[in-house]
Amino acid sequence: MAKILIFGGTFDPVHYGHLQTARAALRLLQANRIVFVPANTSPHKLSPAITASAPQQRLRMLQLAIGADPAMEVSAVELLRPPPSYTIDTLTIFRRDRPGDELTLLIGADQLAALHTWKEINAILESTFIAVLPRPGFDVPAKPPGYIRDDLWKKVIANILDIPQYAISATAIRQRLARGQQVADQLPEAVMAYIREQGLYQKRAT
């Protein structure tokens, strides 16, 4: 049986903060592999003045970022079905395809305040081990938001990972690229080369 971490997000673009967090979680949780799951959505946080990246481009950037690292992989599971992609559906597919593995879902602390809006969230928390990734500037609510059960919430906040917080923001990276500023120290070289090749995150023509 393998211990698998599931790390979802837009990854728009993937950067060293994502990768360093993933490696730290792997070590701390003593997992075998981490699977990055890019969401099947258009980049909803982009400024209208900045060009967008497509889901397949985000998938490709993840593939370039992890390279041949045997402890990392990318899953296109949410790109193979129409949006919206619900976490509970993704977990169902993982359990079907990896019946002998132990799954842990990684959730950023910035997502906790709205966790009650997730489809069938109590069912997710009942059936899946959750590990919380700390995020700069985001506190963990002491009380469960919405209708999440108290006992399930206590399980969630008991599993906040003691790992470094990386102040690297995909939003800030996109904005810096649109202004023609350097971000090479925040991204793998292969990802930066792909962004240049595809002309991503540039100012839109007016």
Q: Please give the pLDDT value at position 40.
A: 85
Give domain status of residue 206, yes or no: no
At residue 69, the 3 state secondary structure works out as coil
Give domain status of residue 158, yes or no: yes
Residues 6+ apart with CB under 8 A from 204: 48, 49, 50, 51
Q: Please give the pLDDT value at position 44.
A: 41
Give domain status of residue 110, yes or no: yes
Give domain status of residue 43, yes or no: yes
Q: Please give the pLDDT value at position 167.
A: 85
Domain count, the chain: 1
Per-residue pLDDT tens for 72-89?
A: 999 999 998 888 889 999
Give domain status of residue 152, yes or no: yes
Give domain status of residue 176, yes or no: yes
Per-residue pLDDT tens for 19-73?
A: 999 999 999 999 999 999 999 864 445 555 566 789 999 999 999 999 999 999 9
Per-residue pLDDT tens for 133-146?
A: 998 888 888 889 99
Give domain status of residue 204, yes or no: no
CA-CA distances (angstroms) from residue 16 to 34, 66, 126, 155, 179?
Answer: 15, 11, 32, 29, 20
Report the CATH number that the domain containing residue 184 is assigned in CATH. Answer: 3.40.50.620
Give domain status of residue 205, yes or no: no
Domain that holds residue 163: 3-198
